[in-house]
Amino acid sequence: MHSDYNSPGYSHWFYFKVSNTRSDIRYTFNLSNFYKPDSLYNQGMKPLMYSTKKAKMDGVGWARIGEDVCYYQNSVKRKAMTGFLYTLSFSFELPYDNDDVYFCYFYPYTYRDSKEHLERICVDSKKIRKTELCKSLAENSLDLIIITNFESSELDIAQREAVIITGRVHPGETCASFAVEGMLDFLVSDHEEAKQLRNKYVFKIIPILNPDGVVIGNYRCSLSGQDLNRQWIGATSRLFPEIYYTKQMFKKTLESRKIFMYIDVHGHSRKRNAFMYGC
């Protein structure tokens, strides 16, 4: 695996293609330069596979596969930091000859997926509106979604507290995007609870806080080679525009209303299920 762009220390996300496959062979893959000392692969998680032929013939998309799945320390020392690298090993058989097969760390969720989802739901300006908060270093849009009952009076809207939600500051945590997509779908739905939430709060949602990292396939860093989640104190508009302008959005919001809650959605490579850190 390649390390994150401009960063020699992070190598964990993988997404690659294998062609000219054979169905009469048992394959074993060894991916040998993970940097984390443990993984959910040692607790039952399996890699994901997408068979082009199986998707076409049987309608089956991404699926968990693999036997003898093992994640362990190897003998290769890390160049940029102390310690050793780690290997993921798994075996499998393929159903078709001459297939194009993709393997992935977790279900992929691309920048385009987010854009297409926003196009589908941003259709009713009475309850959802989209704007561009800023451009990233690579000129990708940082989308800001605002959800509330816009049919209310200006006074009613002004009295509502804000709920701010961000996701995908770490590009490899694709489960965060699926979670944020579910939140967006619910908040614009006709469920009675969703209507009550739109009448009570102004939701400001940034679905992908690190668009450059998502586009170039990083696991943790942005195009700058830095972890954006460690730049909240001293972010500048030149190096870390995503964090800088998100902070400006917080400050601007506080000028007109209270912030009831801020939710930053992540994924975790070593902990199971759903959980929260609070402060």
Strand partners, 165: 205, 263
Per-residue pLDDT of the chain (279 residues; tens, 9 = 90+): 788 888 877 889 999 999 999 999 999 999 988 999 999 999 999 999 999 999 999 999 999 999 999 999 999 988 767 789 999 999 999 989 999 999 999 999 999 999 999 999 999 999 999 999 999 999 999 999 999 999 999 999 999 999 999 999 999 999 999 999 999 999 999 999 999 999 999 999 999 999 999 999 999 999 999 999 999 999 999 999 999 999 999 999 999 999 999 999 999 988 888 888 876
Task: Provide the CB-side half-sphere exposure for 269 (13 A, CA).
Answer: 18
Each residue's pLDDT tens digit, 125-158: 999 999 999 999 999 999 999 999 999 999 999 9
Which amino acid does the sequence have at 63? A
CB 11 within 8 A of CB 34: yes
Chain centroid to Cα 125, Å, comes to 26
Record the tokens describing residue 42, joined without a space.
Answer: 């040692």
Which domains does the chain possess?
A: 15-104 (no CATH), 111-265 (3.40.630.10)
The DSSP-derived string for 234-269 is T--TTT-HHHHHHHHHHHHHHHHS-EEEEEEE---S
- Rg over alpha carbons for the chain, rounded to the nearest Å, is 21
How far apart CA 66 and CA 72 sit, in angstroms, is 16
- Measure Cα distances from 192 to 148, 151, 164, 195, 236 in Å: 14, 16, 21, 5, 41
**pTM, full prediction:** 0.94
